[in-house]
Amino acid sequence: MAKSIDAPSYYTATATPSPRHPGLAGEASADVCVIGAGYTGLSAALELAEAGYRVVVLEQETVGYGASGRNGGQVCTGFSSGQGKIEAQLGRDDARRCFALAEESKTLLKQRLVRHSIDCDLAWGYLHTIVKPHQMDELKAWKDEYDELGYDGTTILGKAELEEKLATRIYHGALRDPGAGHFHPLNYCLGLARAAVAAGAIIHEQSRALSVEMGPPAVVRTGAGSITAKFLVIAGNAYLGRTVPKLAGRVMPVASYIIATEPFGENRARALIRDGEAVANTKFIVDYYRLTKDTRLLFGGRASYSTLEPPSLATYMRPRMTAVFPQLRDVKIDYAWGGYIAITSNRIPDMGRLAPHVYYAHGYSGQGVALAGLYGKLMAEAVRGVAERFDLLAKIRHLPFPGGPLRTPVLVAAMLYYRLRDALS
């Protein structure tokens, strides 16, 4: 039986009609084989195909099946870890370069939407809300950090000011970021796939990479064929499982769930979020939400390390939504789904080489909507022999997660600790 995390989403119901891509059958060769048709893999494929490389993308399900087709659609600024952890490893100047790259990821996204005529309802404006008065100091420090980085335009809103914009009384303030926003994530992913194919890349859906021989050349086998390639780009993220055992302990899949209400109509929708910003709170286990183009509230949250799925995602998520907006007690939930976020131990994305011709990037830790496109592009640069920017991000160190039979219990315990900490702080 299909898991409810895979239930049809608001995104699949409103997806831009797109061609399907035949599965791999038989043996073939390529300059580059990419595993995974999410933002990371498709971005690398697009760049490399445009540069004249013969690129084959293997996707175990369909384009955007993973996190890229089912996320909250929030286009964020910077890294999930914040700047401090990056600066602690790389020093101030390189950490600033990393922030500049994160900014570039948003520019890249915008450019691609225009260049490839991708329609995905992009809207700007983001509110990072706080649930305790003392967190105002965190917001001020955050704004100071942005100011110091030269990232202009953020403002701090007090409780009263925020309540004029957002129809809830549970927050004590927010940091407003005009340079972050939201969009339809699956339509962006499908658009990237169209652009990659137009540039000459070949995508095979329903083609799970079952085994990988690093080579050189790299040989990737599926159930029905194989690709022999000079370069390999591994972009399976939380969905890769143990396909490449060396990568398995480097990220932890965390489940997150989303509901989409029935449409409210423009007036009621604007009464909820007056200016249509994306919203997230600053707890460890975030709620994230936004309005859709057709005036629904799309509300996500509830990270879970446990592989046990709640019996009804809608019933599970509704109280979370009504805790923020009690006035939505009676609204109908039209869609409920979920997906796996790949987190790293320090919440900084993990990119590197497994061999001189084998590249990987994953673990955007809940903030990959913009970043993954850039990481894909940097892997493409490295394949082309220009690895300076790749090497800057690849030198960040990551502790692997514990493996073996204790992996899940240890992480469930860690999660409980963070929930308790959020509740008590």
Piece of 46-54, 151-159, 163-171, 363-371 that binds ligand FAD (CB under 6 A): 363-371
> Binders of ligand FAD: how many residues, by CB under 6 A?
45
Radius of gyration of the chain (CA): 21
- Residue given tokens 């953020």 in the structure block: 154
Q: How far is the CB of 337 from ligand FAD (least distance, A)?
A: 8
Does 372 sit near ligand FAD (CB under 6 A)?
Answer: yes
Site for ligand FAD in 265-284 (CB under 6 A): none
Q: Which is nearer to ligand FAD, 105 or 135 (CB)?
A: 105
Nearest residue to ligand FAD, scored by beta-carbon proximity: 368
Find the helix or strand (DSSP H, E) in which 343 lies: strand 333-343
Phi and psi, residue 335, nearest 5°: -140, 145
Q: What is the token pair recorded at 278?
A: 């994306």
Does 120 sit near ligand FAD (CB under 6 A)?
Answer: no
Cα distance between residue 203 and residue 58, in whole Å: 6
Bond preceding residue 217 cis, omega within 30 of 0: yes
Q: Which of 9, 40, 187, 281 binds ligand FAD (CB under 6 A)?
A: 40
- x-or-dash pattern for ligand FAD, window 319-348, by CB under 6 A? -------------------xxxx-------
Q: How far is the CB of 325 from ligand FAD (least distance, A)?
A: 18
Q: Which of 21, 112, 208, 389 binds ligand FAD (CB under 6 A)?
A: 208
Phi and psi, residue 176, nearest 5°: -95, 125
Cα distance between residue 111 and residue 377, in whole Å: 13
Q: How far is the CB of 267 from ligand FAD (least distance, A)?
A: 26
Which amino acid is residue 94, in one-letter code? Answer: D
Q: Which of 243, 282, 304, 345 binds ligand FAD (CB under 6 A)?
A: 243
- x-or-dash pattern for ligand FAD, window 8-37, by CB under 6 A? ---------------------------xxx
333: β partners: 261
Q: Which is nearer to ligand FAD, 310 or 366 (CB)?
A: 366
Piece of 8-16, 71-79, 101-109, 318-326 that binds ligand FAD (CB under 6 A): 71-79
Cα distance between residue 372 and residue 378, in whole Å: 10
- x-or-dash pattern for ligand FAD, window 211-230, by CB under 6 A? --------------------
Q: Which is nearer to ligand FAD, 61 or 334 (CB)?
A: 61
Q: Which is nearer to ligand FAD, 10 or 325 (CB)?
A: 10
Nearest CA to 376 out of 41, 15, 24 is that of: 41
Whether 27 and 226 have beta carbons less than 8 Å apart is answered as yes
CB-facing half-sphere around the CA of 353: CA atoms within 13 A: 15
Does 296 sit near ligand FAD (CB under 6 A)?
Answer: no
Residue 254's contacts (CB-CB under 8 Å, 6 or more residues apart) are: 238, 303, 304, 305, 340, 341, 342, 343
Helix (H/G/I), strand (E/B), else coil: 213: strand
Q: Which is nearer to ligand FAD, 157 or 235 (CB)?
A: 235
Bond preceding residue 253 cis, omega within 30 of 0: no
Q: By the criterion CB under 6 A, which residues form the site for ligand FAD?
A: 35-41, 58-61, 65-68, 70-74, 76, 208-209, 235-240, 243, 256, 258, 288, 300, 338-341, 362, 364, 366-369, 372
